[in-house]
């Protein structure tokens, strides 16, 4: 077990190493490609190694250990103090390990993928900055700090999605991501303020933004009742608004539209964004502030249903996509919906577990897709095919990722998906959604794999295996995706103890680990749930089998099904017209408001208030200046008149009294 000071110092190093790298590259080493790459990749690998040390330390501390909090006072204002620092506990260390390890693989891969790119140094500076922003969220001690880094993630994602800024679609996608996120962040701001002022009104001037302080209040029955009595319906509203922030970052319906477009960025960016950073931030924040959601039941129900709906919506769209990165993007959306649904069903531990395993296999799939795109110079899966023979490393790793995502025993996805299905077992509707999504996931991933790696090659040119610097990270991620799930296995060999990782996560957000869910109650034993696992595995195998029949064996014709279900297919291809609806909203409704506001601004504010006052003053001045004739006599006469009036006034009003 490490000293508290050592733990805090390590956390600061993990946090600031990528920042230092980004700053150094920007100010000093832009010219030297090798040095820039070394700084950027080195800083993240350092973070990964130190995170693993911290994780080992957390395991030695045991489940439910007190968090190590170290913070500085950043700003003092009338009765309010704002702090900034690091909070090291199991959740934050798990997250930083995921960011560090997955990030390291992606950074190394980027060395190969971005080879020969003009903006090389700029790319690595932004990339490191992205990692810094995400680690800032991870180690935040309070709502203000998490919000600042939340925005930094938004900014750096904007920079990276729009990395190919000469391309209009990339610039548009960057803007779309940023603005959609801003909508979520606006909700989050209001939610934080609601909570902040309510806590201050009830408990006086305490550090009412700090997670630990708030956790103390929410886990104490008396204090919580007092706060809820004072807040009334605003408590659930505040929790929901904070969740709206998570909806933006974790791309939940209806703020999910930015994520598929974010594919415009370079593939390593997509991998980082969809696996370890950005989209993970929303789920992470829900888990981080779970003491709040656990008691705001109404908000929790909304969270569960929004998550479930997003999972279903995205999985169905993924089935008809032809762009390999788009398939993975919708798959990410759907898996995020899964995690959010688990959080809403009082399974924050399951959600966090799935977040961690998903990070590994989704990063693997994206990097694999990048490798394929690199070889075929196309994103369309119908331009590929038969790559299994030409790209052996990419193929087996991609299959490993697919099976992990589908949830085949004993790969990583199996364990975490099992947890999610287990927590949703008591809410029948969402359980059916979960099982259905599991089936669809297996189907669309099977479709992609059979089409890309099997059959005959349909594209042009001669695809070949990617260089070693690209497939070694794939292999590392594949190994973790295959074996990583065992941390959730109930076994005495498990480094996390007999009840697996789950037992750490349960106690990490609530001391007693039991939270009542309105529909039943959500305390689920960690480990293997045989009934759920059987259903989940059957669904996954069924999905893969169906995909094989369609795209591998060719017994069934996808074309015929498409003809039969023409309206449904059109609906799916058009992504349920959600983007079109938003576009209509912006073009018609928002544009109408904009025109009205513009008129108000031009005519009333500028025309009357600004220019009107200026013109009036100028006119009055023109009249007044005529009295300043420069003639002594006129001045003297005016003074004389003034004095005379004063004297009369004095005589009449003062003397007579």
Partner 1 sequence: MEIQIAHYLVVAGILFAVGLTGVVVRRNAIVILMCLELMLNAANLALVAFSRVHRDMQGQVFVFFAITVAAAEAAVMLAIIIAVYRQRQTVNVDEMDLMQG
Q: Does 5 bind partner 1 (CB under 8 A)?
A: no
Place of tokens 């809820």: 228
Place of tokens 């110079």: 377
Of 560 and 625, the one with the shorter C-beta distance to partner 1 is: 625
Q: Does 632 bind partner 1 (CB under 8 A)?
A: yes
- Binding residue (CB under 8 A) for partner 1 from 32, 73, 611, 637: 637
Sign of the CA dihedral with 33 first, then 39, 42, and 43 last: negative
Nearest-approach distance from CB 588 to partner 1, in angstroms? 56
- Among 73-81, 84-92, 194-202, 634-642, the segment contacting partner 1 (CB under 8 A): 634-642
Q: Does 626 bind partner 1 (CB under 8 A)?
A: yes
For the chain, counts of helices (H) and of strands (E): 29, 4
Q: What are phi and psi of 517, to 5 degrees?
A: -105, 135
Of 493 and 621, the one with the shorter C-beta distance to partner 1 is: 621
- Among 44-52, 233-241, 344-352, 636-644, the segment contacting partner 1 (CB under 8 A): 636-644
**Using an 8 Å Cβ cutoff, are 140 and 146 in contact?**
yes
- Among 76-84, 183-191, 280-288, 624-632, the segment contacting partner 1 (CB under 8 A): 624-632
Of 462 and 633, the one with the shorter C-beta distance to partner 1 is: 633
Q: Which of 345, 352, 349, 344 is nearest to 502 (CA)?
A: 349
Q: Where does residue 456 fall: left (phi above 0), alpha (psi -120 to 50 degrees), or beta otherwise?
A: beta
What DSSP string describes 241-294?
A: HHHHHHHHHTT-TTS-THHHHGGGS-HHHHHHHHHTSTHHHHHHHHHHTHHHHH
Q: Which of 405, 394, 384, 392 is nearest to 551 (CA)?
A: 384
| Neighbouring C-alpha atoms within 13 Å toward the C-beta of 415 | 27
Give Cα 199 distance to the centre of its chain: 27
- Of the chain, the end-to-end C-alpha distance in Å amounts to 92
Q: Does 655 bind partner 1 (CB under 8 A)?
A: no
Q: Does 656 bind partner 1 (CB under 8 A)?
A: no
- Binding residue (CB under 8 A) for partner 1 from 78, 633, 653, 655: 633
Q: Does 222 bind partner 1 (CB under 8 A)?
A: no
Q: Does 625 bind partner 1 (CB under 8 A)?
A: yes
- Binding residue (CB under 8 A) for partner 1 from 604, 609, 640, 651: 640
Long-range Cβ pairs for the range 605-609 (8 Å, 24+): none
- Among 451-459, 522-530, 546-554, 628-636, the segment contacting partner 1 (CB under 8 A): 628-636
Nearest-approach distance from CB 149 to partner 1, in angstroms? 60
Nearest-approach distance from CB 656 to partner 1, in angstroms? 20
Size of the site for partner 1 (CB under 8 A): 13
- Binding residue (CB under 8 A) for partner 1 from 628, 654, 656, 657: 628
Q: Does 636 bind partner 1 (CB under 8 A)?
A: yes
Q: Which of 272, 346, 269 is nearest to 521 (CA)?
A: 346
| 3-state SS class at 204 | coil
Nearest-approach distance from CB 626 to partner 1, in angstroms? 8
Of 1 and 643, the one with the shorter C-beta distance to partner 1 is: 643
Nearest-approach distance from CB 624 to partner 1, in angstroms? 8
- Among 189-197, 403-411, 519-527, 620-628, the segment contacting partner 1 (CB under 8 A): 620-628
- Among 165-173, 359-367, 476-484, 630-638, the segment contacting partner 1 (CB under 8 A): 630-638
Structure tokens at 57: 């330390």
- Binding residue (CB under 8 A) for partner 1 from 233, 631, 655, 656: 631
Place of tokens 């006119």: 619
> Which positions touch partner 1 (CB under 8 A)?
624-633, 636-637, 640
């Amino acid at each position: 077990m490490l000293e508290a000071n050592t733990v805090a110092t390590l956390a600061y190093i993990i946090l600031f190493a990528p920042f230092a790298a980004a700053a150094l590259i920007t100010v000093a080493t832009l010219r030297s490609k090798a040095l820039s790459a070394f700084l950027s990749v080195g800083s993240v690998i350092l973070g990964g190694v130190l995170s693993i040390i911290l994780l080992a330390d957390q395991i030695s501390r045991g489940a439910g250990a007190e968090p190590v909090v170290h913070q500085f006072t950043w700003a003092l204002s009338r009765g309010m103090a704002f702090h900034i620092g690091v909070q090291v506990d199991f959740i934050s260390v798990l997250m930083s390990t995921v960011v560090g390890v997955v990030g390291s693989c992606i950074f190394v891969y980027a060395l190969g993928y971005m080879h020969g790119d003009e903006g090389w140094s700029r790319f690595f500076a932004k990339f490191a900055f992205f990692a810094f922003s995400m680690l800032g969220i991870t180690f935040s001690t309070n709502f203000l700090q998490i919000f600042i880094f939340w925005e930094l993630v938004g900014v750096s994602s904007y920079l990276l999605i729009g990395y190919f800024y000469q391309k209009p679609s990339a610039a548009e996608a960057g803007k779309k991501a940023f603005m959609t996120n801003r909508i979520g962040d606006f909700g989050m701001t209001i939610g934080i303020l609601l909570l902040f002022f309510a806590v201050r009104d009830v408990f006086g001037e305490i550090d009412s933004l700090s997670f630990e302080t708030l956790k103390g209040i929410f886990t104490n029955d008396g204090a919580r009742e007092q706060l809820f009595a004072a807040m009334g319906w605003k408590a659930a509203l505040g929790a929901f608004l904070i969740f709206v922030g998570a909806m933006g970052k974790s791309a939940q319906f209806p703020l999910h539209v930015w994520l598929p477009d974010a594919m415009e960025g370079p593939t390593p960016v997509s991998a980082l964004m969809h696996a370890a950073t950005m989209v993970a931030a929303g789920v992470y924040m829900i888990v981080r502030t779970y003491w709040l959601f656990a008691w705001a039941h109404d908000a929790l129900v909304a969270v569960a249903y929004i998550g479930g709906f997003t999972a279903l919506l995205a999985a169905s769209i993924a089935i008809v996509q032809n762009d390999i990165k788009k398939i993975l993007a919708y798959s990410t959306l759907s898996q995020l919906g899964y995690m959010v649904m688990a959080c809403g069903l009082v399974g924050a531990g399951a959600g966090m577990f799935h977040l961690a395993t998903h990070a590994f296999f989704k990063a693997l799939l994206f990097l694999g897709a990048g490798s394929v795109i690199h070889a075929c110079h196309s994103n369309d899966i119908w331009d590929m095919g038969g790559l299994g023979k030409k790209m052996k490393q990419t193929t087996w790793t991609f299959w490993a990722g697919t099976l992990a995502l589908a949830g085949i025993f004993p790969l990583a996805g199996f364990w975490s998906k099992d947890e999610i299905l287990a927590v949703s077992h008591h809410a029948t509707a969402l359980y059916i959604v979960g099982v259905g999504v599991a089936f669809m996931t297996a189907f669309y991933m099977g479709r992609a794999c059979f089409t890309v790696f099997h059959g005959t090659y349909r594209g042009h040119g001669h695809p070949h295996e990617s260089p070693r610097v690209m497939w070694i990270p794939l292999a590392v991620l594949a190994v973790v995706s295959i074996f990583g799930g065992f941390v959730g296995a109930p076994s005495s060999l498990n480094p996390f103890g007999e009840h697996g990782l789950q037992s750490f996560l349960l106690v990490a957000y609530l001391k007693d680990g039991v939270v009542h869910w309105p529909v039943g109650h959500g305390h689920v034993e960690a480990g293997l749930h045989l009934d759920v696992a059987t259903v989940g595995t059957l669904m996954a195998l069924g999905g893969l089998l169906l995909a094989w029949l369609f795209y591998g064996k060719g017994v069934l014709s996808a074309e015929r099904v498409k003809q039969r279900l023409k309206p449904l297919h059109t609906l799916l291809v058009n992504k349920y017209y959600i983007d079109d609806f938003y576009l209509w909203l912006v073009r018609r409704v928002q544009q109408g408001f904009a025109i009205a506001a513009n008129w108000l601004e031009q005519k009333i504010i500028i025309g009357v208030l600004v220019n009107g006052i200026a013109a009036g003053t100028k006119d009055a001045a023109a009249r007044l200046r005529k009295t300043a004739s420069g003639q002594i006599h006129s001045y003297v006469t005016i003074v004389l008149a003034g004095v005379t009036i004063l004297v009369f006034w004095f005589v009449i009003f003062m003397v007579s009294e």
